[in-house]
Structure 1
Amino acid sequence: MGESYDLGPRLGSYRVSRATDAEIGRLIDEGETALNVLFEDRDILLQESAGNFWLAQYICNKVCAIQEVYETQDAPKVLTFDLLGIRRRLMAELSQRYTPIARTFAKGKKWRPGGNKPYLEVFLALSRIPDSVVTFDKVLNVVAEHRRPGIKAIRNRIAEVIYDPSKPTDLRRQIAFEADVGFSIEDPLFRYFLSNIDVAQLYKDLGIEPEVMEGARRFSYDIGFSFAGETRRIVEAVNAQLKLEDVITFYDFDQQAFLLALDLEHTLRRLYADSCRYFLVFLGEQYSEKVWTKYEKDIMTTGGRKDHIIPVILDDAGAKGAVGIPSTVGRIDLRTQWAEIQKTGTVSDETIHAIRNRCVLPLLEKLDAGNGDV
Structure 2
Amino acid sequence: MAYLEDVFKDSGVPTHTFVEPNEYTKIVVALRTKGRCLVVEGPSGIGKTTCVLKALENTGLSNTIQVLTPRKKKDISVIHDILTKNENVGTVIIDDFHLLTIGDKNSLSDLMKTIADEEREDIKLVLIGINRAGDSLINLAPDLNNRITTVKFEVNPDSKILELVEKGEEALQIEIKYKEQIVKRANGSFHIAQLLCKELCIIAKVLMTLDKKRELNTDINYVVDKIMSDLSRVFENKAREFAIGSRLRSSGRAPYFHLLYWLSLSKDWTIRMTDIYLQYPNNKASISQVADKGFLSKLINNSENIKSVIHYDEYSKVLTVEDPKFMFYLQNINWHDFVKRIGFSKINFDSKYDFALSFAGEVRSVVSELSMVLSEEYECSVFYDFNEQHKILGEDLTDYFEPIYSSEAEFIIVFLDKNYPKKLWTNFESDKFKKRFGEHAIIPIIFKGCEPTQFDKLANIGYYTFDPEKESKDQIRKIADLVVKKLDEKRREGITE
TM-score (norm 1): 0.82
Inter-partner Cα distance in structure 2 for 1:78 and 1:151: 49
Q: Alpha-carbon deviation of 1:76?
A: 2.2
| 1:271 counterpart = 2:411 | no
1:333 equivalent among 466, 476, 491: 466
2:205 equivalent among 44, 63, 68: 68
Aligned to 2:263: 126
Q: Name the CA shift for 1:110/1:367 in 2 (closer, same or farther; >3 Å).
A: farther
Equivalent residues of 2:200, 2:223 under 8 A apart: yes
Inter-partner Cα distance in structure 2 for 1:8 and 1:147: 28
Structure 1 segment 15-26 matched on structure 2, within 5 A = 15-16=130-131, 17=153, 18-21=155-158, 23-25=160-162
| 1:113 counterpart = 2:250 | yes
Equivalent residues of 1:136, 1:181 under 8 A apart: yes
| 1:45 counterpart = 2:154 | no
Structure 1 segment 1-374 matched on structure 2, within 5 A = 3-4=71-72, 8-10=98-100, 12=105, 14-16=129-131, 17=153, 18-21=155-158, 23-25=160-162, 27-143=164-280, 145-156=281-292, 157-164=295-302, 170-179=305-314, 180-208=316-344, 212-214=346-348, 217-245=349-377, 246-303=379-436, 305-316=438-449, 318-320=450-452, 324-326=457-459, 328-337=461-470, 351=471, 353-370=473-490
Inter-partner Cα distance in structure 2 for 1:176 and 1:97: 18
Q: Name the CA shift for 1:294/1:373 in 2 (closer, same or farther; >3 Å).
A: farther
**Deviation digits for residues 3-24 of structure 1, max 9, x if unmatched?**
5597533154834433455554
User: 1:358 is matched by which residue type in structure 2?
Assistant: K
**Deviation digits for residues 9-59 of structure 1, max 9, x if unmatched?**
315483443345555455435533442323334443333222222212111
Deviation larger for 36-45 or 262-271:
36-45
Q: State the secondary structure of the residue aligned to 2:415.
A: strand
User: 1:206 is matched by which residue type in structure 2?
Assistant: I
Q: Name the CA shift for 1:93/1:141 in 2 (closer, same or farther; >3 Å).
A: farther
Q: Alpha-carbon deviation of 1:328?
A: 4.8
Alignment RMSD (CA, Å): 3.0
Inter-partner Cα distance in structure 2 for 1:101 and 1:111: 14
User: 2:317 is matched by which residue type in structure 1?
Assistant: V
TM-score (norm 2): 0.63
Equivalent residues of 2:173, 2:212 under 8 A apart: yes
**Deviation digits for residues 84-137 of structure 1, max 9, x if unmatched?**
232233333323322222222222234332342232222222222222232223
Inter-partner Cα distance in structure 1 for 2:169 and 2:252: 52
Q: Name the CA shift for 1:139/1:89 in 2 (closer, same or farther; >3 Å).
A: farther
Equivalent residues of 1:103, 1:206 under 8 A apart: yes
Q: Alpha-carbon deviation of 1:253?
A: 0.9
Inter-partner Cα distance in structure 2 for 1:46 and 1:372: 40
Q: Name the CA shift for 1:7/1:352 in 2 (closer, same or farther; >3 Å).
A: farther
Equivalent residues of 1:126, 1:139 under 8 A apart: no
Aligned to 1:346: none
Inter-partner Cα distance in structure 2 for 1:44 and 1:116: 36
Count of aligned pairs? 352
Inter-partner Cα distance in structure 1 for 2:492 and 2:335: 26
Query: Based on CA coordinates, which of the two structures has the bigger radius of gyration?
Result: 2
Q: Name the CA shift for 1:369/1:21 in 2 (closer, same or farther; >3 Å).
A: closer
Equivalent residues of 1:332, 1:359 under 8 A apart: no
Inter-partner Cα distance in structure 2 for 1:256 and 1:150: 17
Unpaired runs of 5+ in structure 1? 338-350
| Percent pairwise identity | 24
Inter-partner Cα distance in structure 2 for 1:30 and 1:48: 18
Q: Alpha-carbon deviation of 1:324?
A: 4.2
Inter-partner Cα distance in structure 1 for 2:427 and 2:249: 32
**Deviation digits for residues 301-359 of structure 1, max 9, x if unmatched?**
2235433322223352x33479543365221313224xxxxxxxxxxxxx463244433
Equivalent residues of 1:174, 1:185 under 8 A apart: yes
